[in-house]
Amino acid sequence: MIPITVVDAFTSQPFSGNPAAVCMLERWPNGEWLQLVAREMNLSETAFLVPLRDAEFELRWLTPTVEVALCGHATLAAAHAIWELQQAKNTELRFQTRSGCLSATRLPEQQIALDFPQKPALACHAPRQLFGSLGITEQPLLRNEFDYLIELDSEASVRAIRPNFQLLRNVDCRGVIVTARAEDPRFDFVSRFFAPAVGVDEDPVTGSAHCCLAHHWNNKLTKQDLVGYQASLRGGIVRMHCKRDRVKLIGEAITVLKGHLLTLPPT
């Protein structure tokens, strides 16, 4: 039997934040089996781990439809699961991924800090259907290697967006980040993230999007330490500390389900 856990990330309350499944493996099966498991879990991401040595793991992330190159909330969930389920004593974990070596550090008060690369977005031309699929007028547009970034005039405008996901699915990108300054003084900005092209219409809390948002708002607000609120139905808080080309994504996590896969991968 293969242990599998569901963890709500970037939250301290169950049934909020972003749920991720965490699957601990002894070796890598074929990619088709990984994709079937991710589709079965039907969450934004399932994290698959294979141990390399003490406190170091290979880590891969799959949505219900594709494997992705970077995922923050499932990395947070994976670190939480390792520390909780394996009673690991190390205060730092290392993950070898498609985006290089990432680390997670255990902080006081149940918080975890992920060390991720910043992903700056640059000005670009709008692709056909992008603004129409979001139901908004054309705005200045930025893009990084993964996503488009649009800053709107108000938090209310961000919350009011009702995308046409069928149209948005045809836009050539992983996803679209929409953001604005926060009205609540506890937060610097709010955001939402839409990624129907990779099988996630609206992601509840997106760590990798904050690698872009941290750079954007650090430049606009000249603040190294930022707090973002992702204004999805579930909602979640991401704290950030920017340093050179890296960003620490800081959040909490809580386990909501523990179990085992009864169907083993092919040998």
Angstrom distance (rounded) from CA 91 to CA 148: 35
Report the mean per-residue pLDDT for the chain.
96
- Of the candidates 47, 96, 51, the one whose C-alpha atom is nearest the C-alpha of residue 73 is 47
pTM of the model: 0.96
Percent of the chain exceeding pLDDT 90 equals 93
Q: Does residue 89 carry a pLDDT above 90?
A: no
pLDDT tens digits for range 174-190 = 999 999 999 999 999 99
pLDDT computed for residue 266 by the predictor: 82
Active-site residues, by number, are: 45
Question: Would you call 73 helix, strand, or coil by DSSP?
Answer: helix
Half-sphere exposure of 185 (CA within 13 A, CB side): 0
